[in-house]
Structure 1
Amino acid sequence: MQSNRVEHYALAFKPSCPLTLLALIASLSTAHAQESASPSTLPEIVVSASRSEQNRFDAPAAIDVVQVDDFRAQSPLVNMSELLGTVPGVQVRERQNYAQDLQISVRGFGTRSTFGVRGVRILVDGIPATMPDGQGQASTASLSSASRIEVLRGPMAQLYGNAAGGVVQVFTREPPMKPEASLSLGAGSDDQRLFGVSAGGGNETVAGFIDASQYSTDGYRDHSAARRTTINAKLVARPSSDTRITAILNSFDQPLSQDPLGLTRADFESNPRQVTPRAIMFDTRKTITQQQIGILLEQRLGDNDRLSARVYGGTRKVFQSLAFPGDENVQAGGIIDLDRGYGGVGLNWMHETRVNGLPLNWTLGVEADSLSERRQGFVNNGGTPGALRRDENDHAKNTDVFAQIDWTFAPQWRATAGVRMSRVRLSVDDDYIVPNPDPALNNPDDSGSVEYKQTSPVIGLVWSANDNVNIYANIGKGFETPTLAEAAYRADGTGPNLGLRASTSVQAEIGTKIKSGHHLMDFAIFNSRSKNEIVQEQSLFGRAIFQNVDDVERRGIEASLRSDWNSRLSTSVAYTWLDARFDKSFSSANGTIDSGNRLPGAPEHSLYTELQYRWQNAVTTAVEMRADSKAYVNDINSDAAGGYAVFNLRAGYEFNAGPAKMMLFGRIDNVFDRAYAGSVIVNDGNQRFFEPAPGRRLYVGMRTQF
């Protein structure tokens, strides 16, 4: 009965009415608190909100944790899109294009990204997978060795620095304390193949494991085959009860990822599995090789003080063939060859004390990260490098200092405040200099640099109405610098667009967390206003040129309800209403973008539901449903990918076979074979906006654990 009330209010409430919001939350809180005083059976530990372990329910922010069970998961564990559907406020688009990675957005931040992850910070075991310029990659995180994924949304995410519209953290599982090994096999539609092995063991002093997996597919569309190998290793040493040292090694090799490009509206409707002819003409594809190592130290200095430190480094090599030759402009090349080195250090000091008998905790920290890359562009001769057209050394680095305090100043009240001072520097050393009296062929030295400074404050308040009801409110300011890719070109000539300014945003949220017996409900309303939002001005010959615009607003509602009705039946519902729009008109190469136009790639309504049933702890069956409303494909709102609802079925059977545990599972995605666009390429200059989602697909797998 209560869940129906929540859904009704979520759809009818107008977030411009804060007094109505407070009354709504208070009434819901009272109703649920009276229903039951028993604690929730979902005690989830998170660290993202305050950098120290706490129960997710007590975290003073909108944060969700997705537990990852590499043995019982009824999916391949290849992409984050398999796991994050239960989190409201988050869009994860599995593009069926391994040359372009996932599209991840949080509360409308990151929707404009056409490749990689933009506007959302990604960390793996506390080590950034987002570079200092704000560009990140999700594909390198090893899900087959993960224990959980935390998703932090709202103002508290600003304490993680540049481009923190939200934070996604992946945590690797702990090594086993005794010898253990596992094997996984899987196969499915579109010639999907998965093979994985894992082995580890140790004792309380030293323990470790290594996990390796290889995934390949011919792809749903023509010219979309991919193959990748991921290796993740973790070693934990505890030389004393006060010291913990963790070493993490990650290797990612993707020698094949064909790019079928997007489709025009006409091509998408006539045959969604087809490939754009230019993809064949220029053999569009990408190869990626990345290796990374990180060392983390946790040191307890006494009963009240802890130090944590990290140092990491890695290399990343990318070769990419794009769908144009590169002759049209002397600065652009249809083939990109990129060789990157990156690394960083971080140090946190956490102190716990008490004031008037109540907890007062604070954290001080410093972080410094850098990347250097050699970027070259060549004429694309049918997928083979031709004449040199671009040659430069790009650099990005950040130096950040932050402080955070969490104070329980009364038995039922907590205050949280923090500030982060960031400095980000981008620079380009141009080695492609071609003097020519003809202005069309002249390419001067375009070297240059730019520095961005920002202070990001956050403050919040939590009221624990009782043991089962928490109400919180936060407000903070964040920023987002241009990435090296976004600053690569300018409209008035050759060279980087170093005049782009960093986008700043003011975010606010108010929400409640309610637990009642075996039910856990989250409800939040948020609003964000941005200045100097970075949007595309034009796209020509593979060059996207960006500009700044003011008055971009993102506001919405998030609601989720998870219930364990009994030992067998559980349900999950996550709903998001997102109103993301331009509140001020501006001009681009496509024409005038009117005030009130919606941000492309951001559906107004998103709903995920799941019903799972367990049979005698051996067989698990579930039905999933995902529904999104339409999403516009460009700033001018001239077209949109239609809304859709898709259903998935999954089942698993767990049993013992001698000394081994076995799991057999299968799933059918898009049961009713619905034709829809799973993602859109925002503002594509060739009108190829649509990336078709697969039709009905089958996947079966087996996992063995010794």
Structure 2
Amino acid sequence: MRKAVRAGRRRRWLAGALLATPAAMPFAAAPAAAWADEATLSDVVVSASRAEQKRFDAPAAIDAVTLDPLASPTPLVNLSEVLGGVPGLSARERQNYAQDLQLAVRGFGSRSTFGVRGVRLLVDGIPATMPDGQGQAATADLANASRIEVLRGPFAALYGNASGGVVQVFSPDPPKDSATARATTGMGSDGQWMAGVSAAGGTGALGASVDAWTFTTDGYRGHSAARRRQLNAKVVAEPAAGTRVTALLNVFSQPLAQDPLGLTRAQADANPRQAIALADQFNTRKQIEQNQGGVVVEHRLGAQDSLSFRLYGGTRQLTQYLGMSGAAPSSAGGIVDIGRSYGGGALSWQHETRLAGLPLQWSAGLEADGMRDARTGYVNQNGTQGALRRDETDRASSLGAYAQFDWTVHPSWRLVGGLRASQVRLSIDDHYITAASPDDSGSATYRRVNPVLGVVWHALDSLNLYANLGRGLETPTLTEVAYGPGGSGANLGLQPSTSRQGELGLKWQRGTQRLEATVFDADSHNEIVPLSSDNGRTTYQNVDGVRRRGLELGWSGRFGPADRFGAALSYTWLDAFFGQAFRNAQGLLVAAGNRLPGTARQSLAAEASVEALPGLVLGAGVRVESRVFADDLNTQAAPAYATFNLRAGYAFRAAGTRWYAYGRLDNLADRRYIGSVIVNESNGRYFEPAPGRRFFIGLRAEI
């Protein structure tokens, strides 16, 4: 039976790929940049080989989103605003700032109910993913970012605890021998309002920039208001020739983020703007305060060698009120309070030489990261703190060593590859031990060595073909090992998920036209899924045979006199399913062949723009997504939808100041649809409705 299911899925996958390719190829996918406003194709990326190279030459599926903090027709608050055109990536803004956005690459990370996992996050080289694999996207400063890189597929293994991919955010360097200042403000539907200021300047070998902004919203749904504030600073110094020191500071404050909780399908259909009564009863919300600092030192030893060193540290205070009391003696409580300290360092060496007369570049590095959580849980007495129900100290640490190479074995061929050895240790020291809550203390250590190997054929000046194979790693998080089966002890026998991945791709570019296509296949072992849920304690298990495979297409180009017209299109076909049957959290049988919840089989995004007048750019876009199952049993699903959007941006000068005015009108047809799902929500409230028609207008000025 199992072989028959796999064979059937294989035939459908092959047929789907053959049918989809000819139809989609002429249009293909938007390669992540500023959509059709991208001015050049010679963008530079570093994620694939940790060295600068043109994205066209990178030996992997990688996109570079270029951002202009002055002239972007969007408020730049959430990553979902700018990553919608990246094939293979799903970035869903949940209209719930208490849970962060949902970010998944090729189906990895789609099962996360909060935060980001399965995808490695970095900001200016500093990890935004903790050692246990749980990351937070909210602290990335898009209001002062210049580029976002998205690496998908096997080469993500060289970054450690992330199977799906790597997302890196980069901020611009301060100007040299000049100074700039910028102010921004904007407002929109549902009480959205933002304002920010920034300044940057430098003299010779020293430059600095600082920006601060605030954002508030009343929320599309009831009980979903949020307030955010952020301060960021960057200092770049070059004390000697070949030496560069970058110091970074990030202060993030979210004093209010109400949680409207999920809805049943009937509730979502009846009134998508509602919050259930439990949200008001228990005043569900989250508060976050995070402070982080880091330094990156780059030093060139000579013409062929360079060193890089990073050191960072920070604190994070989180308080969350859940939609339950948690008063039962065996419960973990309805209020979560975490005081976190974290930090780490890394050292890498890069060498450029020649072998057999052809270029060879290799690098090697060591990385160490750690975190310590003082975690407590309390009874939620209708929105106020009650008795203690949890008290423990959780720790996670990771050690990694990697080596990789990029060798031009022939003028038309490059061989690329690498190896990473990873060790992740999780430990729990339980201080709350009662008859109803036994000792959950314990520790577990996971060790893996993951290789990756690929080849690139520079078939023509305008055409590159590549193939990669590798293994990925995704360890359990501290949340997932917290409770063992039967409610006794921790679940430290839970194993890390491993994957075998492969991809084939092509990249073509000529003039202002760019086309990319990738097919991939990933087979996971020990996938982590829920086993049971009781009194706020969710227990997880491992299942085998989870398969993710698909097709990604991307195209963009400019046309007409002076390239006034632009267009871009992104298409993803993803077949993600359970290859083997297993029992879920309710003890029901999940059949082999069921789709992985949280994943859409097909996604399409397209946009066209025109410079109607000097400085005035008008754009229109469409996004289409097929249905998304919300549970392992595939009994609940968010229906397919299509939305249409309009935007306009006008750049002009007045009184010696550069101005940019913009406006957006999203979901033009006022379509009702489910924007995201809470995978395997134990109460059946899976659905998070997306807003209807909404607008946002803004104004920026720079001197």
User: TM-score if structure 1 supplies the norm length?
Assistant: 0.94
| Counterpart AA for 1:55 | K
SS in 1 for 2:155: helix
Moved more, 18-27 or 256-265: 18-27
* Partner of residue 168, structure 1: 167
Partner of 2:305: 305
Distance 1:267 1:495 in 2: 37
Q: From the superposition, tell whether residues 676 and 20 of structure 1 become closer, same or farther in structure 2 (CA, over 3 Å).
A: closer
**Partner residue in 1 for 2:579:** 583
Cα separation, 2, equivalents of 1:452 and 1:431:
24
Q: Distance in 2 between matches of 1:249 and 1:134?
A: 22
Q: Deviations over 1:395-453 (max 9, x none)?
A: 0000000000110010100000100000000000001022xxxxxx4333321000000
Q: What is the alpha-carbon distance in structure 2 between the residues aligned to residue 558 and residue 207 of structure 1?
A: 40
Corresponding residue number in structure 2 for 1:281? 281
Residue matched to 1:442: 436
- 1:179 deviates by 1.2
Match of 1:319 in 2: 319
Residue 421 of structure 1 corresponds to: 421
Residue correspondence of structure 1 range 509-658 to structure 2 within 5 A: 509-566=503-560, 567-590=563-586, 591-658=588-655
Q: Does the CA-based 8 Å contact 2:24-2:571 persist in structure 1?
A: no
The corresponding residue for 1:663 is 660
Deviation at 1:204, TM superposition (A): 3.0
Residue of structure 2 in register with 1:102 after alignment:
101
Counterpart of 2:266 in structure 1: which amino acid?
Answer: A
C-alpha separation between the residues in 2 aligned to 1:252 and 1:51? Answer: 28
Partner secondary structure for residue 84 of structure 2: helix
Unaligned runs of 5+ in 1: 1-11, 30-39, 435-440
Percent identical residues? 53
How far residue 615 of structure 1 moved from its aligned partner, in angstroms, is: 2.8
**Gap change, CA 1:278 and 1:28, over 3 Å in 2:** closer
Q: CA deviation at 1:624?
A: 1.2
Residues 576-599 of structure 1: CA distance to partner in whole angstroms, max 9, x if unpaired?
A: 000000010001133100000000
CA distance in 1, matches of 2:19, 2:272: 46
Letter of the 2:138 partner, please give it: S
How far is the alpha carbon of 1:357 from its aligned partner? 2.4
Answer with 583-592 or 112-121: which moved more.
583-592
Distance, in Å, in 1 between the alignment partners of 2:428 and 2:489 is 9
The residue matched to 2:551 in structure 1 has which SS? Answer: strand
Q: Which whole-Å CA distance do the structure 2 matches of 1:538 and 1:655 have between them?
A: 59
| 1:338–1:373 Cα contact (<8 Å) kept | yes
Please, which moves more after superposition, 155-164 or 223-232?
155-164
CA-CA distance at 1:385 after TM superposition: 1.1
CA deviation string 1:61-108 (max 9, x = no partner): 000000011001000100000000110000001000000001000000
CA 1:22–1:185: 2 relative to 1, 3 Å:
closer
Code of the residue aligned with 1:160 in structure 2: it is Y
CA contact (8 A) 2:377 2:390 kept: yes
**Does the C-alpha gap of structure 1 residues 13 and 656 become closer, same or farther in structure 2, counting only changes over 3 Å?**
farther
Aligned pair count reads 679
**Cα distance in 1, alignment partners of residues 316 and 349 from structure 2:** 31
3-state SS in 2 of match to 1:190: helix
Determine whether 1:225 maps to 2:225.
yes
Shift of 1:358: 1.3
- Deviation of residue 198 (structure 1)? 0.2
Counterpart Cα distance in 2 of 1:399 and 1:414:
30
Displacement of 1:18 after TM fit?
A: 11
Please name the residue that 2:76 is paired with: 77
- C-alpha contact 1:538 1:685 (8 A) present in aligned 2: no
What is the alpha-carbon distance in structure 2 between the residues aligned to residue 653 and residue 25 of structure 1? 32
* Distance across 2 between alignment mates of 1:21 and 1:214: 44
Separation (CA, whole Å) in 2 of partners of 1:483 and 1:251: 25
Q: TM-score, normalised by structure 2?
A: 0.94
Structure-1 separation of matches of 2:614 and 2:500: 48
Q: Which amino acid aligns with 2:41?
A: L
2:154 matched residue in structure 1: 155
1:685 alignment counterpart: 682
SS in 1 for 2:482: coil
Contact 1:15/1:525 (CA < 8 Å) preserved in 2? no
1:703 is matched with 700
Shift of 1:28: 13
Alignment match, 2:195: 195
Which residue number corresponds to residue 50 of structure 1? 49
Distance 1:671 1:20, change over 3 A: closer
Per-residue deviation, 1:272? 0.3
Question: Using a 3 Å threshold, how does the CA distance of structure 1 residues 453 and 528 change in structure 2: closer, same or farther?
Answer: same
Assess if the C-alpha contact under 8 Å between 1:539 and 1:684 holds in 2.
no
| Change in 2 beyond 3 A, CA 1:229/1:27 | closer
1:379-394 mapped onto 2 (5 Å cutoff): 379-394=379-394
1:244-294 deviation line (CA, Å, top 9, x unaligned): 000010000000000000000110000000001111110000000000001
Question: Structure 1 pair 125/539, CA: closer, same or farther in 2 (3 Å)?
Answer: same
Cα drift, residue 489 of structure 1: 1.4
Structure-2 residue corresponding to 1:141: 140
SS of 2:324's equivalent in the other structure is: coil
